[in-house]
Structure 1
């Protein structure tokens, strides 16, 4: 019965903060407004937790007052004690065995069940959503591990700061206020001693805490660099081993670790000095209060019970202010880490939906590049003044040397970047004026660098169409010639077939297997526009021939753009465009381009075994 009631109480408490509610606009770039952005929606519950914590702190002083009254009552003798002070015994039992446990238990529940899990999830969810909205250039310019570390670091540190503020700071302030009232009730001449001590204590914190925050921020940045370096090495471990660069990577990691160690020592230096000064301050208060109380003595109305209560209060305050100070040390350390995460993760999005953007409607699948230029902010590379119309249902092949602009053209179609000049239209709609999500839903994509999640084969295939049935899944896999090898798969935990995990980035699969799963994923998505970027580059000739028919079926009724170095894979396209140095230099059918004896014909002539050996001209 009690266990069920406790479980219901915990379940109710855990749901007080809606932890996945969306954020209110973009994150601010100043610390305290950023904290408010992270915590919005949780303030009423945090206020309630603060009230409970403060009341719990005040109860500490009440127990010390009861101790003083008990000492004075005992001085009258045991017979008189039980006759005149039975109320004191009953009240003490109620406070110690009922009220204090209730408030301490409620405070602990709010900290451990309400605040800590919910605030962490709330903050992390908002930061993660914002991070996902960044353009691909944001991720290109940083370590994946470092960005993940920053998200976790900021969410964890803000959660700890909130919990400690509610748990220690408000608890301590209530205790201090209660102590001041108790000391004033004993003798008003003792209050200035308490006030002076707290003024010195506040000045001490004012000097040290900003320095602790700054050095904590340095330490957090250095720690994230260690994580980024290590994750980058592990992510590319095969390359490290193939090029025998383990020693080099070890030195790079050690360099980042040494930097972190230096910043940690700088933080530890100020932290140790802070603790030393705090211990000295803590020793002054009980000596001052008890000594002053003894000096005033009974002539000033100070009883033995008052001395006992003040001594208990002074010792408790010394302990508590030390605890609060160490907590503030931790809080400012956490705030420094939150600030570091904020600076990394919250730059404004550089590629956003236009105001009032509507969903893309694809009726025919016409694609138009209208005087499009894009050079990644450089003078060379990318594409320049591209005029290209892909007719509805047309199968267009794109060829060119490495760096000619083929992948840039596809990236602009998918709006991974915005053109520096011109515009891209689908069925007459400028893709800059439609939502990015609707645009990418309308385009199926198979890339040369096939991206796999460390999830099951099933999850990877239905990623673009989560509502697909099991029959749809198997049909797509069969068309991509992937069904048989998937059935034979088994991961290290014994999960088999479509339930087997593929490993990080599909590391457990061969290149050909990864591409066949990627093809199955594109087939099951069944988008009206299909982009094939070296879609069969990792397949041997036998497998490529086996899935060519399936590819042909997948392209039926769709507008297709296919990039290929192996020219035999696009020879049957309706039209082929040749790019060179970011511009269209030739276009036509395979036969037409061969007859012109231009760049395409030179590429074709240099083929050997179906592969194009391209000249860097």
Structure 2
């Protein structure tokens, strides 16, 4: 039976999610997609349970009256039908509670938040680089996790608590009115005072809870940031500084906690005082009516039992309402992140990119990271199929931006970029990046096995192809000696977060093996051998050259010697092309490239340096 209800909701739908709306109620409603029939069924069950529980007090009153008016030996004979019906109703209520509980706990308690996490995660994976530059990774992860739970709990409280309480109170008032309209006075007065207390305390709890959710995200983000960059923290001996940085966020969080707890304590005191007032006034009115002969002993018993029951329910309602507004605050805090529109999206008519040749064109491209000041300014560049091009320039000249725009990590502000005559803005992002291989200077590996990291380049590759890529990248020897704390070895050993268990050179070689396995027609190299020592770099140059054969290559290097042998060098300055040509012609021109080369050669070019440059220019491309 449990499995039947657990399978009602599919927590991992294949349908791509659309960004949820930013308005609170619309956001909540959008989150229930696929769950609404079960949410409605649970709500109806809660309403029926509330009516049933309240009606039991009327039954209690009737039982007391039967006992008062009937001798023990005649009770069964005179009340047999009522007693059998009562037993049947009590048994049926168990099935009702079982259905409500199965819908709540089996169908939705686990599946609801997991469905939301699945959709939120996929939405955030599609966000642009702008998004991730402005947020802590830990903060984003926290909002995905806690917002999913808060949405579920908000709906659970609305569907269970609110409906149950409304139906329960309506049934109670109807029952009391059937005994005597005078009994409505203490209950009506209590409802008004209790509603006033809720109106005062709950919104304040909601506001402090929203501030607390944001403070919690900030605290988690700072702590996660320290763990992510633990090597830097230790390198600069800043463990105490990082502890203090986290402590400031913890203090901000504790301010919201103290504010919340003060409100909770005050609410508890007020709530208890109101409950005691209800019990005393209800018992007093019921006794007065009984003494006047206007109410039976059963009515007295039922009314007093209702007041006692409301004492417990009022505490439950108080905590659930406080929790509701805490969840509302958490959801409001998460909406800003989770419903943020994507800045780089595929067009409705986007098609997969086809790259039979590998020609690349930049046509009057302008881009400035949204700052207004262009980083790339009216750039026009034609890279022929199979051509090896090096991008040269001072730091900040726009070299990496050119690569990022080709990958469409950002959209150009004006102009266009063509690959084999196709505007990349009209192609799907997945198909574009599938046709481009890239090795970056800051190599980041996934916290998975070496095998998983290499196969990331082509998941359908077999072991033989993976091993071949590792050998070509000069990585096979050190991979064979890897182990991890769980006893996994070789290609099954895990590399740690961002590959922290490996040296920089080892990470770089695995990254190169990954790109070799991908075998894309366009290759981007951003300081591809910067983390390798001289001996390993020399050994891998031939592998890189084999990798570049038949491909269009764009290489960035601050060490000019590593790209001097490219077919053509493009010299950038302030986002514009200021020089282009091969190594020898650019040196002869005596412009910016020549000055950069002289600077890296010790400030002057002697005959030996010129001979070295000539030898390098005639060597295989690196």
TM-score bracket, shorter-length normalisation:
over 0.9
Assess if the C-alpha contact under 8 Å between 1:464 and 1:524 holds in 2: yes
Spell out, residue by residue over 1:15-47, the C-alpha distance to the aligned partner (whole angstroms, 9 max, x if none).
Answer: 222323447633111111111111122111100
| Residues 88-167 of structure 1 mapped to structure 2, 5 A cutoff | 88-96=82-90, 98-167=91-160
Identify the match of residue 435 of structure 2 among 429, 434, 442. 442
Paired position in structure 1 for 2:547:
554
Structure 1 pair 235–309 and aligned structure 2 pair: CA distance change class (3 A): same
Looking at structure 1, the residues matched to 370 and 162 of structure 2 have their Cα atoms a distance apart, in angstroms, of 50
Alignment of 1:593-604 (within 5 A): 593-604=586-597
1:308 is aligned to 301
Counterpart among 395, 403, 406 of residue 396 in structure 2 = 403
Moved more, 540-549 or 250-259: 540-549
Q: Look up the match of 1:331.
A: 324
| Residue range with higher mean Cα deviation, 20-29 or 449-458 | 20-29
Q: Give the drift of 1:85.
A: 2.6
Q: Is residue 10 of structure 1 aligned with residue 2 of structure 2?
A: yes
After the TM superposition, which residues 235-314 of structure 1 pair with which residues of structure 2 at under 5 Å, given as runs? 235-297=228-290, 301-314=294-307
2:611 aligned residue = none
Checking the alignment, whether the CA contact within 8 Å between 1:23 and 1:38 is kept in structure 2 is: no
Aligned 8 A contact 1:23 1:40 in 2 = no
How far apart are 1:565 and its partner, in Å? 1.9
Contact 1:368 1:426 in 2 (8 A): yes
Cα contact 1:282–1:322 (8 A) shared by 2: no
Is 1:366 aligned to residue 388 of structure 2? no
Correspondence for 1:204: 197
The Cα of 1:287 is off from its aligned counterpart by: 2.5
Report the CA distance between 1:381 and its aligned residue.
Answer: 6.7
Check if 1:433 corresponds to 2:426.
Answer: yes
Q: Is the 8 A contact 1:575 1:588 kept in 2?
A: yes
Structure 2 residue 76 is the aligned partner of structure 1 residue 82: yes
Shift of 1:504: 0.5
**Residue in structure 2 matched with residue 220 of structure 1 by the alignment:** 213
- For 1:181, the equivalent position in structure 2 comes to 174
SS at match of 1:334: helix
Aligned pair count reads 602
Q: CA 1:292–1:30 in 2, change beyond 3 Å: closer, same or farther?
A: same
Q: Say which is worse superposed, 529-538 or 265-274, in terms of deviation.
A: 265-274
What SS does structure 1 have at the residue aligned with 2:381?
strand
- What is the aligned counterpart of 1:545 among 522, 528, 538? 538
Query: Does structure 1 retain, via aligned residues, the 8 Å contact 2:449–2:493?
Result: yes
SS at match of 1:55: helix
Tell me, yes or no, if the aligned pair for 2:18 and 2:123 is still in contact at 8 Å.
Answer: no
Contact 2:17 2:119 in 1 (8 A): no
Residue 11 of structure 1 and its aligned partner are, at CA, apart by 1.1
1:446-468 alpha-carbon deviations (Å, 9 max, x no partner)? 10011211111111111232222
Contact persistence 1:405–1:579 (CA under 8 A): yes
8 Å CA contact retained: 2:495, 2:501:
yes
Structure 1 segment 42-81 matched on structure 2, within 5 A: 42-75=35-68, 76-81=70-75
What aligned pairs does 1:18-57 form with structure 2 within 5 A after superposition? Answer: 18-21=10-13, 22=15, 25-57=18-50
Q: Residue 383 of structure 1 contacts residue 405 of structure 1 at CA under 8 Å; is this kept in 2?
A: yes
- How far does residue 307 in structure 1 lie from its aligned partner after superposition? 1.3
What's 2:609 paired with? Answer: none
2:500 matched residue in structure 1: 507
Query: How far, CA to CA, are the matches of 1:538 and 1:150 in structure 2?
Result: 35
1:392 aligns with 2:385: yes
Q: How far apart, in 2, do the equivalents of 1:58 and 1:482 lie?
A: 71
Secondary structure at the counterpart of residue 320 of structure 1: helix
Whether the aligned pair in 1 keeps the contact of 2:523 and 2:552 (CA below 8 Å) is yes
Kindly provide the CA deviation profile for residues 125-159 of structure 1, in whole angstroms up to 9, marking residues without a partner as x: 22222222221111111211111111112111111
Partners in 2 of 1:276 and 1:497 — Cα distance?
64
Extract unaligned runs of 5+ from structure 2.
Answer: 603-614, 617-622
Distance in 1 between the 2:514 and 2:137 partners? 24
Q: Is the 8 A contact 1:454 1:502 kept in 2?
A: yes
Task: Check the 8 A contact 1:38/1:126 in 2, yes or no.
Answer: no
Shift of 1:574: 1.4
CA distance in 2, matches of 1:368, 1:541: 34
Partners of 1:462 and 1:23 lie apart in 2 by 25
Given candidates 543, 553, 557, the residue that maps to 1:564 is 557
Q: CA deviation at 1:406?
A: 0.8
Residues 123 and 592 of structure 1: is their aligned pair in 2 closer, same or farther, counting only changes over 3 Å? Answer: same
State the SS of the aligned residue for 1:297: helix
Deviation string, structure 1 residues 321-345 (Cα, Å, up to 9, x no partner)? 3211210110111111110111233
**Cα separation, partners in 2 of 1:532 and 1:24, compared to 1, 3 Å:** closer
CA distance, structure 2, for counterparts of residue 291 and residue 24 of structure 1: 59
CA distances 1:162-186 after superposition (whole Å, capped 9, x unpaired): 2233333322233222212221222
- 8 Å CA contact retained: 2:439, 2:528: yes
If the length of structure 1 is used for normalisation, what is the TM-score?
A: 0.93
* TM-score normalized with structure 2 length: 0.92
| C-alpha contact (below 8 Å) 2:17/2:122 kept by paired residues | no
Q: 1:235 to 1:23 in 2, by over 3 A?
A: same
User: What is the alpha-carbon distance in structure 1 between the residues aligned to residue 461 and residue 185 of structure 2?
Assistant: 75
- Residue 517 of structure 2 corresponds to residue 524 of structure 1: yes
